[in-house]
Amino acid sequence: MSLYQDLKYAISDGVCYAAQGVTPEGFATYCPRYIDGFLVTLELLLLSSALGLSIGTLVAVARVSRQRALRVGAWAWSYIFRGTPLLVQLWIVYYGLGSLGPEKLGILWPFFKSGWAVGLAVLTINTSAYIAEILRGGIGTLPPGQLEAALSCGMSRGMAMRRILLPQAFRVAWPAYGNELILLMKGSALVSTITVMDLMGQTRSVFARGYSLETYMYSAVLYALLALLLTAGLRAVEKRLRVA
Amino acid sequence: MELLGFGAEGWGDDLLRGAALTVQLAVVSLAIGLTFGMVLALAKLSRFAPLRWLAQGYTLFIRGVPEFLILLLAFFGTEKAVAAGAALLGLEGGIEVPKFAAAVGGLSAIFAAYGCEVIRGAWLAVPNGQIEAGHSVGLSRWQIFYRIRLPQLWRIALPGLGNLWLVMLKDTSLAAVLAIDELLRVAKVAGEVTRQPLMFLLAAGALYLVLTAISDKLRASFEARANRGMAR
Amino acid sequence: MKKTLIALALLAASPVAAETLRIATEGAFPPFSEINANGEVVGFDIDIAKALCAKMERECEIIAMDWDGIIPGLVNDKYDAIVASMSITEERKQTVDFTNPYYSNYLVLLAKKGSGLTVDGIAQQAVGAQRASISSSWAEEQVGARGDLRLYDTLTASFTDLEAGRIDSIVSDYFPALDWLKDHPDFEVVGDRIDIGDQIGIAVRKDDAELRDALNVALEGIVADGTYGQISTGYFGTDIH
How far apart, in whole angstroms, are the C-alpha atoms of residue C124 and residue C121? Answer: 6
Q: What is the pLDDT at residue A119? A: 98
| Same-domain pairing of C112 and C227 | no
Local confidence band at B229 (pLDDT 50, 70, 90 cut-offs): confident
Does the pLDDT value for residue C14 go beyond 50?
A: no
Whether residue C25 lies inside any domain: the answer is yes
Binary contact (C13, B17; C-beta < 8 A): no
- pLDDT at residue A221 greater than cutoff 60: yes
Q: Give the contacts of C183 (CB within 8 A, at least 6 positions apart).
A: none
- Cross-chain Cβ contact A227/B184 below 8 Å: no
Q: Specify the 3-state DSSP secondary structure of A78.
A: helix
Q: Which chain C residues touch B200 with a CB distance below 8 Å?
A: none
Kindly state the average pLDDT of the residues A119-124.
98
Alpha-carbon distance C130 to C171, whole Å?
8
- Measured between alpha carbons, how far is A116 from A126 in angstroms, rounded to an integer? 15
> So where are chain B's domains?
2-226
Question: For the residues A211-228, what does the mean pLDDT come to?
Answer: 93
- With CB atoms and an 8 Å threshold, state whether A95 touches B197: yes
pLDDT band (50, 70, 90) for residue C9: very low
Domain limits for position A205: 47-209+227-243
Q: Which CATH number does the domain housing residue C87 bear?
A: 3.40.190.10
B201 interface with A at CB cutoff 8 Å: yes
Q: How far is C117 from chain B (nearest CA, A)?
A: 28
In the structure, what pLDDT confidence band is assigned to residue C17 with cuts at 50, 70 and 90?
very low
DSSP string for residues in C216-227: HHHHHHHHHTTH
Residue C70 lies in a domain: yes
Q: Distance between CA C127 and CA C109 in Å, rounded?
A: 9
Residue A132 lies in a domain: yes
* Domain identity same for C137 and C176: yes
Fold of B2-226: MetI-like fold (1.10.3720)
Q: Are residues C110 and C188 in the same domain?
A: yes
Question: Does residue A243 have a pLDDT over 70?
Answer: no
Confidence band (pLDDT; 50, 70, 90) for A86? very high
Q: pLDDT per residue over B159-199, tens digit each?
A: 999 999 999 999 999 998 887 889 999 998 888 878 889 99
Answer yes or no: is pLDDT of A116 > 60. yes
The closest CB to that of C165, out of A102, A210, A211, belongs to A102
Determine the structural domain holding residue C57 and report its residue range.
7-103+200-236
CA distance B186 to B201: 9
pLDDT at B97 over 90: no
C124: contact with A, CB 8 A cutoff: no
Helices A25-63 and A115-140, packing angle to 10 deg: 50
Chain A residues whose C-beta sits inside 8 Å of any chain B C-beta: 79-80, 83-89, 91-92, 95-97, 99-100, 182, 185-190, 192-193, 200, 203, 211, 213, 216-217, 219-220, 223-228
**pLDDT for the residue numbered B105:** 93
Question: Residue B191: its chain A contacts at CB < 8 A?
Answer: 95-96
What pLDDT band is residue B96 in, cutting at 50, 70 and 90?
low
Predicted local distance difference test score (pLDDT) of residue C16 = 39
Report yes or no on C1 lying in a domain.
no
CA atoms within 13 A of residue C129's CA, in its CB half-sphere: 26
* pLDDT over 70 (residue A152): yes
Inside any domain, residue C29: yes
Q: For residues C69 and C174, state if they share a domain.
A: no
- Domain assignment present for C241: no
Nearest to A208 among C131, C161, C166 (CB): C131
Q: What is the pLDDT of residue C138?
A: 92
What mean pLDDT value characterizes chain A? 92
Domain count, chain C: 2
Least Cα separation, residue B103 to chain C (angstroms):
11
Q: A99 lies in a domain?
A: yes
For C:145-174, CB contacts with A below 8 A are: 145-146, 150-153, 157, 160-161, 163-166
Q: What is the pLDDT of residue B89?
A: 66
Residue A210's pLDDT is what? 77
Indicate which CATH number applies to the domain containing A234: 1.10.3720.10
- pLDDT average, residue stretch A177-182: 94
User: Taking phi first (over 0 means left), then psi (-120 to 50 degrees means alpha), and beta for anything else, what does residue B7 get?
Assistant: left
The partner residue sitting opposite A190, judged by closest CB among B68, B76, B208, is B68
